[in-house]
Structure formats: C-alpha cells, structure tokens
Structure 1
Amino acid sequence: MNRIKGEASLSDVHESVDVSRKKIGWKRAFAFFGPAYLVSVGYMDPGNWATDLAGGSQFGYSLLWVLLMSNLMALLLQGLSARLGIVRGRDLAQANREAYSRPVNFTLYVLAEIAIAACDLAEVLGMAIGIQLLTGLPLIWGVAITVLDTILLLLLQQLGIRKMEAFIIGLIAIIGLSFLTEIIIASPSPAAVATGFIPRFPNANALYIAIGIIGATVMPHNLYLHSALVQTRKITRSREGIKQALKFNFIDSTIALNLAFLVNAAILILAAKVFFESGLTTVAEIKDAHRLLDRLLGNKLAPILFALALIAAGQSSTVTGTLAGQIVMEGYLRLRINPWMRRLLTRLLAIIPAILVIAISGEHEVDSLLVLSQVILSMQLGFAIIPLIHFVSDKKTMGEFAIKPYVQFVAWIVTAILVYLNIRMVLNEAGDVFAHSGNIIWKILIIAGGAAFVGLLLYIIFHPLINKRARETSITMHPHMEGLQQLAIPAYKKIAVALDFGKHDNTLLAHAIGQGQGNAEYLLIHIVESASARLLGKESDDYETQNDEARLQLYVQQLHEQGLTATSHLGFRNRAGEIIRIINEAHADMLVIGAHRHSGLKDWLYGETINSVRHELKIPILVVNL
C-alpha cells in the first residue's frame, strides 16, 4: 500500500486508448465504445436476478414499470457521471475529496465501500448458485471457489482496458442470448407484458421489492466507475473534442444500458410467465426458479442456459466491483494497493457474511440475503447522486458543459424519488421493529442511525450551496502554460547500484557511471538469498556468501583500476528491505537498479523489488530495463 501523488484516475489505463488520432466516422465512434458496457454489467448482476425473480413471481408483470423507470434514471445518472469524468478529468471520489471536509469524505468512503461489498456479496452468491446448479457442488464450497477469480482479474488487467472490455462484452452476449432463447421458449403474451408498464404498487411488500429493483439497477459504485472509465480515452482537450466525447459516450451508454434493461425485463417476464401465471407466487429463490423451469417449460435447455447466464453475470460483475473499489480508495484516501490484493480484500468481505449465513441459517436464506444486499445498495444512492449533481451543475468548474437547468430539475426529482423511497422503506422496517421488539438497544440504534443518515444527507445537499471557499477550476481545456524556470542540475556524490550478479551487471554499472560522470562514489550492493543467509543473516558463511563477497570485491577492484571510487556492501535475507536499509545507512543520493520486466504471476514468484524500494526511498531511482 502506498500514498499516491498523481491525480489520474485508474492511472494504469488512464488515456490508454487514443481516440484523438482516429479518423472522423464510425472508427472514432467505435473507439469510444466500451466504458458503458463495463458499467452495464452492474445492472444485470445476480442481485438483479433475485429482485427480478421475486417481483415477477409475486406480482406478475406489474413491476415492469419500475424496471423501465430505473433504466431511465440510470441513463440520466450515468450520463452525468461520464460528463464529470470527461469535462473535469475527475472521478466522483476525487471531486468529493476536493469539495468536502476530511471527516465527511471518510464517511462517504466507508459508505461507498459498504455498497461495493454489498454488490460483491450478490456476485459471490450468484456465481456460487450457478456453479451449484450446473455441478451439484454444495453452495458453501461454491462461495469459497469464487476467491479464485482474483487470478482471472489480474490477468485481464495485464492485457489492457480494451481486452477487458471485449471479455465483458462476451459475457454480456452469453447472458443476453441465454434469456432471448428462454423468452422464445416461454412465449409470454405481448398484451399482458404491456400492462406491466402501468405504474402501481399491488401492496406494501411490492414497495420493498421495487426498492430492491432500484438498488439493483441504479448502483452507487457505478457512478464512481463510469466517471473514471471514460478517462481511459485520450481525447482532444478542445471545445469540439469534449463535445464529441460527450456525444459518443451518450450513445455508448444508451446502447449498453438498454441492453441491460432488456436482460432485467426478460428475467422478470420469464418469472411472471412461468411462475406467476402457474400460481407459484412464492418462487423467489434462484434455485427454485432453475428447478421449475424444466418442469414448467418442458425443455431441458432452459435450466442449463439459466445457470450459465447466472455464472456469466457474476463473473462479469467481479471486474467492475474491483475497479470501483480501486477508484474509491484512491480518490478518497489517495491510497493505492496491488489490484490482486484489492480484489482479494473485496472478495473476503463478501465471502465472510455469505459463509456465516449459509453455515448458521442454511442455504434457504441465500436469496433473502441477495435481496437485502440490493436494498443496502439503494440506501447508498443518495450519497453518490447528490454530490454528482452539484458537481456537474457548477459552471465554475464545468464551464459551458455544466448541465442545463431543466436537466438539473429532472436530476433532483429523480434524487428526491430515490431518497423518499429509501426513507419510507426504512420507516416501515423500523416500525416493525418498534412494534414487535422490546429490545431498547435496537430502538436506540435505529433512532441514532436514522438521525445520522438524514443529517449527512442534509449536509451534502446544502454544503456546496453555502460554502464560500474558492475552489480551483479543474477543467483543462486550455491549461495555462508557464515557461521553465532556471534549472538546478544535480550532482550526485554517492550512487548505489543494486547488482544481481547476472549478465546485465555491466549495463547497470555503465548507467551508474554515466550518471556520476566519473566524479561520484559508487556503492555496489548485492543481497545474498541462500537458505543459510536467510536463516543466519550476516553470520552466514556458506559457499554462496563467500562467492558473492569475492565477486563484489572484484568489481570494486576493477572500478578502482579505472580511477573510480567504489565501495561494496553485502546484504542478507529480504531483498527490498536490505537495499533500503543499506542505502539509508550509507546516505546514497541515487539508486540504479535493473528491471527484468516480469509482471502478474511472476511478481508473486520472484517478488516486486522495484515497487517496494521506490515507495520507501526518497532519492532518485534510475530503473534500467534489462
């Protein structure tokens, strides 16, 4: 883990796709397409399945209008998120850090992490259920197996953002084709489906499911994600370039999110046709749906496609959840950890509650946990949407690309609806607790939590309006350029060289001598990593230690013969830690070190010396590619 200094969101892939060089036409438009598809998988993850199945089996087609409304909300909000990233070059977490105080930002960070953990919980359970349906493996083992997708994510990130987008689009195609086939098999009545677009709530329980659908559709972590992903495209920072980027990203979002809507609608329609119309209104569990598809449709293919689509949905959502977690941590805390560690941490936070629920309550509570995860997501929405609207409405930072007053009005109406539904649901749930529970502690916690919830909402609503502190304009359409000041050329007195006694030692020493221009003292470092050296440290006197010491002395002698000043130091045990210690004790003012350019799994096998060293040392480091 290290504290980052740069402002680039997702710096590993920031502006990695250069669209400014593409010719005008479909090739340029195609180069923009991709970010919205990564975002859209969050709109069709296993959490959506639980709420869509519950809504369709219990209330038929009557909640289709909620899906449509959620999709329109998603189009608006994801468009605002993309606008923030394109125009200001900030993701939502970075913009929050600039606008709010440290305690508020930390609270928003914790809430965002809770939302990501809730989303990942749905992915874990969905994939585990899909594995169980295909193989018969116990659910608790399926949950444990999902840890392995950390390796898949790591490999995808090594391939670059375009390959990752292609992989996600492939999984989306599997989901879409699976449900298209199942809808054709089920053959629902178009007239009956059309009645589902008339707004209504059949009963109070429908409200709970509707909020779960909204939470599963409009997801807070997707707002963080989209504002960062659009920055993977390197655009021309001019008025025309930004307008073109906004236009193509709107098209990208419209296509991707409407595909997600069709998938969600297909799940709900399938549940309504197969279960609700058959009188099976209690089918709210994914496993029950899978089991009954075969019997009610009389087709062996339907349940297999159902399970495959479920696994694809969970796996595709895995990638976006990790990226969102990286954006949130770097944006709010300015901390960066290795992607695989971030993925492992996120997954463990999801696996632990899943395993506990399965172990204590059994597998029959899993679908209730899925629905609950989506309600938790819905409750976090206000804390992501409200700051976003403030940011894209600010003419000082957005310039002419600030949203129009009528768009602001619609956005605030959407926000008001979401916050109202959340508060109403919380009051209903709290009312049940107060009516049936005599535990005073629970009542106090509910009152305190509700007060904190409302207080934070009011703060983030009104703080930007009353805050008079001048904020720097972050739009970089025409940045102010200053000329270079008088340059102070450094002269290095002691240059350390980390040697591995391979064929590239000559190259490393040549670069070091070039930096010192023959006037510096050269400190030659080598770390002994034999079994004896790891155990005994500097007390080691095995063959490798003796041989390495002799080789260092030979190098020093040869440098002396060339009229150069050189000393040597042998280290033991931990490679990176010893290099850092030796350099600090010797007060070297520069390090020359070789990079063998391995990555991914090889970093786990051989270690990441350079990253570990550069984060700890404050002196210049010359990395020589070998």
Structure 2
Amino acid sequence: MSTAARARTGSARPPGRFLALLGPAMVAGVAYLDPGNVASNATAGARFGYLLVWVVLLANATAWLVQYLSAKLGLGTGRSLPGILGERLRRPLARRLFWAQAELVAMATDIAEVLGGAIALQLLFGLPLVVGGALTGVVSMVLLVLHNRRGSRSFEAVVVGLLVVIAVGFCAGIVAAPLDGAEAVGGLVPRFEGTGSVLLAASIVGATVMPHAIYAHSALARDRFGLVAPDQRRRVLLATRVDVTVALAVAGTVNVVILLLSAATLRGVDGTDTLPGAYRAIGDALGPVVATLFAVGLLASGLASTSVGAYAGAEIMAGLLQRRIPLLLRRVITLVPALVILLLGVDPTFALVLSQVALSFGIPFALVPLVWLTAQRRVLGESANRWWTTALAALAAMLLIGLNVALLALTIAG
C-alpha cells in the first residue's frame, strides 16, 4: 500500500511499545551533526574562542521546537511539508519558484556533507579529495538502497549507529582538553565581535536549524506511522517529544563540545580555521588517537548526513513538483556540484561554512509555512498548536530572519 493510501485509511501500523516509536528524530537529528556543523563550530572556536557558545545553545533549543512541529505535521496529516505545500501552492510558477529555492538549499546541504566525507577520507587514508567525495556519494547510495529495500527501521538503525560513532569521535578530545571554565561560562552571554562573528553565527544557525531537516522530519514521521488515528495520536506525540529531546540533546552536546574543544586547543594556532588544520592541531595538542577519532567522527558525519540529505531532496521534488525521479539517479545528479568544487580546488572548509550560510537564508521558507500549518485546526484538528507554541515558533522565525538581515547588512557594509 502506498504512503498516500495509508494516509487516507489511517495509521501505517498500530503503535507498539513506547520505545519502538522512537527513531525518526534520530535520523533527522543527523542533520545537526553534519560536516557543516563541524566546520562552523570548529571555525568559531578557533577564531573567537568561547564567544559563540550561546549561539549553539540557542540554535539547538530552537531546533527542538522546529523538529517537533515538523514531526507533528507528518503524524497529524499523513503527509510531508513539501507535499502539503505542493497542494496549496496552486499557481505552477509559485510552486516552481518555491521548489527552486528549496532545491538550492538541498544542494548546499549536499555539498557540505560530501565535502566533509572527502576531507575525512583524505585525513584518514590520504585519498585525493575528488576520490573521497565520490566514495562518500557511493556509500550514501548504499544506505539509500537499504532504505528502499529494507524500510525505514533498518535505515534508522544504521543511521543511529553512525550517530554513536559521531558522538564518540567528536567528544573524545574534551576529556583531555584544557578548558577555561570562566570563559566558557562567559560564552553564554549573547554578543558579537564584528562582522566575522555574525557570519559564523549565521553559519552555526544554518547548520543547526536546517531547512532540509524540517522538510525531512515530516516525511520520516509519515513513512514510519502514516496518518496516526486520533485515539493513538497523544501517545505517539509523547514518544515524538522524547525522540526529539534525545536527538537534540545528543546533537547539541556534541556541537557545544566541538566549539569548546576548538576554543581550548585551536585558538591562536595558525591554520586551524580549516578542518585539516584543526585535525593536525588537535593531534599536536592531544595526541594522534584523539585526532584520528575526530576524523572518524567527521567521516561518519558525512556518510550519515548525505544519505538523509538525499532523502530530503527527493521529498522536496516529489512534493513541490509532484514528480519523482529514482532516488539513486538524484543522488548521482546532486553529487556533481560537490565534485566540481573539489575539482576546482576551492578550499573545502571555506565552502562548507558558506554552504551553511546559504542554509540560514533558506530557513524562513521552511519555517514560516510550518508554523502556520501546525497552528491550523483544520489541518491538525485537536493536535494543532496551542497559542503559546505558535507564539514561541513565530518569535524563533523572526529572530532567525533578523539574523539573516543583519548578516546581509554587515556583509555589504564591510
């Protein structure tokens, strides 16, 4: 039975044990630990020390609310956010323009993830960046085949396993890092230091509250549960809140650790605003084992996140253009821009950070419709947002849009 048919007839499967309801948020949460996050947080720590700790925490708190709303939309409608928007945007031109910006965001995401995998393979095995990028794409295809043939549960299990590798790889060094507790606490005070810190703040936000994760989570919930019957919805929504909390707690902790580790070991060291430079500096400061674990975490990050990104991109196309192309063919097509960047010799870490800024500008296009739809009783019935939930989500959207406007103004002025 197709997903659409399941949505019309009710839940895809009766909800089982509580723990068995967990999983979709873990997959979506990989988006918050992709190589773009690593590059943004490592660069922020190396250049500005503990200054932007507050941005990481605020972005992750915002991401919790956003991902919960996305999952709730999928559970309450049996459809994804792109699918609903594709139906509501009646004019073909409006639908195509919305798809174009969403597609560009998905491509920016894919560039970051493939570049991260390529850098990790070069650090671990000395492979040329282009070869590493191609191998990252091939492995992501294998994971997508697993999703197509074995279903969402097997895909979730593999991605969660990679998530564990990511967490261990990036957190190992914090045990030996010489943290400055007073400065770390000072990093909780919201402030900036020039245009460069605003640029990195936007990059961190774009890497954390990722548009493709907003699109993907509603689809992941739909694929797992279909349209959840009203009498089961409260229980599934409770499980979803737990799922999102665990996923974002893991992602937020790892992101803060990356920034703290960089602030403690990379600040003031030449060349540490790139991932290869950070890898070498971590090795010099904390030893080759910690540096190797860092590179392994980066590799797992690239492999897991590029698979989720390809899944989100396919959903964006299917929902907004109401057309599907084979997922593996799409994977090949979207791999090309990243390989071109590598062939042209563009600094991959710089490209990673800029890709996250591009994601930041795509956030309002995903977030504003999500907030509006989840506030509508005619869309979600009794599961529609309470007024305070809508108010908090609207405030988050305004803050994110304001950060983007400030970034644009400071960049032009600079």
Category of TM-score, reference length = shorter chain = over 0.9
Aligned residue in 1 for 2:394: 412
Write out aligned runs for 1:18-37 (5 A).
18-20=13-15, 22=16, 28-37=17-26
Aligned residue in 2 for 1:108: 98
Q: Does 1:143 align with 2:133?
A: yes
Q: 1:8 to 1:322 in 2, by over 3 A?
A: farther
Match of 2:408 among 426, 433, 441: 426
User: SS at 1:214's partner residue?
Assistant: helix
Aligned residue in 1 for 2:120: 130
User: SS at 2:176's partner residue?
Assistant: helix
Q: CA deviation at 1:149?
A: 2.1
User: SS at 1:266's partner residue?
Assistant: helix
Q: Does 1:343 align with 2:331?
A: yes
Q: Kindly indicate whether the alpha-carbon contact (under 8 Å) linking 2:178 and 2:265 is maintained by their aligned counterparts in 1.
A: no
Write out aligned runs for 1:392-471 (5 A).
392-432=374-414
Match of 2:111 among 102, 111, 121: 121
Write out aligned runs for 1:251-262 (5 A).
251-262=242-253
Q: CA deviation at 1:232?
A: 2.6
Q: CA deviation at 1:248?
A: 0.7
Post-superposition CA distance 1:228-260 (Å, at most 9, x none):
111133378443311111111111001001100
Q: 1:9 to 1:262 in 2, by over 3 A?
A: farther
Q: Kindly indicate whether the alpha-carbon contact (under 8 Å) linking 2:75 and 2:225 is maintained by their aligned counterparts in 1.
A: no
Q: Kindly indicate whether the alpha-carbon contact (under 8 Å) linking 1:57 and 1:275 is maintained by their aligned counterparts in 2.
A: yes
Q: CA deviation at 1:355?
A: 2.4
Q: CA deviation at 1:9?
A: 9.8
Q: 1:9 to 1:206 in 2, by over 3 A?
A: farther
Which amino acid in structure 1 is aligned with residue 248 of structure 2? L
Q: Does 1:312 align with 2:312?
A: no
Q: Kindly indicate whether the alpha-carbon contact (under 8 Å) linking 1:84 and 1:90 is maintained by their aligned counterparts in 2.
A: yes
User: What is the distance in 2 between the residues matched to 1:166 and 1:187?
Assistant: 35
Match of 2:211 among 220, 235, 241: 220
User: What is the distance in 1 between the residues matched to 2:6 and 2:63?
Assistant: 23
Q: Does 1:271 align with 2:262?
A: yes
Q: CA deviation at 1:187?
A: 4.3
User: SS at 2:189's partner residue?
Assistant: coil
User: What is the distance in 1 between the residues matched to 2:153 and 2:133?
Assistant: 29
User: What is the distance in 1 between the residues matched to 2:323 and 2:130?
Assistant: 33
User: What is the distance in 1 between the residues matched to 2:250 and 2:228?
Assistant: 31
Which amino acid in structure 2 is aligned with residue 269 of structure 1? L
Match of 2:199 among 208, 213, 221: 208
Q: CA deviation at 1:32?
A: 1.2
User: SS at 2:4's partner residue?
Assistant: coil
Post-superposition CA distance 1:378-410 (Å, at most 9, x none):
000011111111111112222222111111111
Q: 1:286 to 1:134 in 2, by over 3 A?
A: same
Q: Does 1:90 align with 2:79?
A: yes
Q: Tell me the TM-score normalised to structure 2 length.
A: 0.94
User: SS at 2:292's partner residue?
Assistant: helix
Q: Does 1:391 align with 2:373?
A: yes
Q: 397-406 vs 283-292, which deviates more? A: 397-406
Q: 1:126 to 1:117 in 2, by over 3 A?
A: same
- Percent identity between the aligned chains? 35
User: What is the distance in 2 between the residues matched to 1:8 and 1:185?
Assistant: 51
User: What is the distance in 1 between the residues matched to 2:107 and 2:5?
Assistant: 21
User: What is the distance in 2 between the residues matched to 1:368 and 1:10?
Assistant: 44
User: What is the distance in 1 between the residues matched to 2:229 and 2:280?
Assistant: 56
Q: Kindly indicate whether the alpha-carbon contact (under 8 Å) linking 1:143 and 1:355 is maintained by their aligned counterparts in 2.
A: no
Post-superposition CA distance 1:259-285 (Å, at most 9, x none):
001111111010000022xx3276210
Q: CA deviation at 1:431?
A: 3.7
Q: Does 1:8 align with 2:1?
A: no
Q: 319-328 vs 155-164, which deviates more? A: 155-164
Aligned residue in 2 for 1:78: 67
Aligned residue in 2 for 1:609: none
User: What is the distance in 2 between the residues matched to 1:88 and 1:46?
Assistant: 32
Q: Does 1:63 align with 2:52?
A: yes
Q: CA deviation at 1:430?
A: 3.2
Match of 1:44 among 29, 33, 54: 33
User: What is the distance in 2 between the residues matched to 1:42 and 1:233?
Assistant: 18
User: What is the distance in 1 between the residues matched to 2:359 and 2:20?
Assistant: 31
Q: CA deviation at 1:144?
A: 3.2
Q: CA deviation at 1:189?
A: 3.8
Q: 1:65 to 1:294 in 2, by over 3 A?
A: same
Which amino acid in structure 2 is aligned with residue 132 of structure 1? Q
Q: Greater RCO between the two (CA within 8 Å, min separation 6)?
A: 2
Which 4+ runs in 1 deviate beyond 6 A?
A: none
Which amino acid in structure 2 is aligned with residue 186 of structure 1? A
Which amino acid in structure 2 is aligned with residue 416 of structure 1? M
Post-superposition CA distance 1:322-343 (Å, at most 9, x none):
1101211111111122221121
Aligned residue in 2 for 1:352: 340
Q: Kindly indicate whether the alpha-carbon contact (under 8 Å) linking 1:9 and 1:231 is maintained by their aligned counterparts in 2.
A: no
User: What is the distance in 1 between the residues matched to 2:112 and 2:227?
Assistant: 39
Q: Which residues of structure 2 form unaligned runs of 5+? A: none
Q: Kindly indicate whether the alpha-carbon contact (under 8 Å) linking 2:202 and 2:357 is maintained by their aligned counterparts in 1.
A: yes
Which amino acid in structure 2 is aligned with residue 246 of structure 1? L
Q: 1:377 to 1:9 in 2, by over 3 A?
A: farther
Write out aligned runs for 1:190-589 (5 A).
190-234=181-225, 237-276=228-267, 279-280=268-269, 283-297=272-286, 299-356=287-344, 358=345, 361=346, 365-432=347-414
More helix by share: 2
Q: 1:376 to 1:10 in 2, by over 3 A?
A: farther
Aligned residue in 2 for 1:188: 179
Q: Kindly indicate whether the alpha-carbon contact (under 8 Å) linking 1:9 and 1:331 is maintained by their aligned counterparts in 2.
A: no
> How many residues matched?
409
Which amino acid in structure 2 is aligned with residue 81 of structure 1? S
User: What is the distance in 2 between the residues matched to 1:266 and 1:76?
Assistant: 22
Q: CA deviation at 1:154?
A: 3.9
Q: Kindly indicate whether the alpha-carbon contact (under 8 Å) linking 2:11 and 2:227 is maintained by their aligned counterparts in 1.
A: no
Q: Tell me the TM-score normalised to structure 1 length.
A: 0.63
Q: Kindly indicate whether the alpha-carbon contact (under 8 Å) linking 1:174 and 1:309 is maintained by their aligned counterparts in 2.
A: yes
Q: CA deviation at 1:54?
A: 1.0
Q: Kindly indicate whether the alpha-carbon contact (under 8 Å) linking 2:141 and 2:307 is maintained by their aligned counterparts in 1.
A: no
Q: 1:271 to 1:52 in 2, by over 3 A?
A: same
Q: Which residues of structure 1 form unaligned runs of 5+? A: 1-5, 23-27, 433-626
Which amino acid in structure 1 is aligned with residue 4 of structure 2? A
Which amino acid in structure 1 is aligned with residue 319 of structure 2? G
Post-superposition CA distance 1:442-465 (Å, at most 9, x none):
xxxxxxxxxxxxxxxxxxxxxxxx
Which amino acid in structure 2 is aligned with residue 376 of structure 1? A
User: SS at 1:8's partner residue?
Assistant: helix
Post-superposition CA distance 1:525-550 (Å, at most 9, x none):
xxxxxxxxxxxxxxxxxxxxxxxxxx
Q: 1:77 to 1:151 in 2, by over 3 A?
A: closer
User: What is the distance in 2 between the residues matched to 1:334 and 1:10?
Assistant: 18
Q: Kindly indicate whether the alpha-carbon contact (under 8 Å) linking 1:9 and 1:90 is maintained by their aligned counterparts in 2.
A: no
Q: 1:10 to 1:166 in 2, by over 3 A?
A: farther
Which amino acid in structure 2 is aligned with residue 70 of structure 1? A
Q: CA deviation at 1:352?
A: 2.4
Q: Kindly indicate whether the alpha-carbon contact (under 8 Å) linking 1:65 and 1:199 is maintained by their aligned counterparts in 2.
A: yes
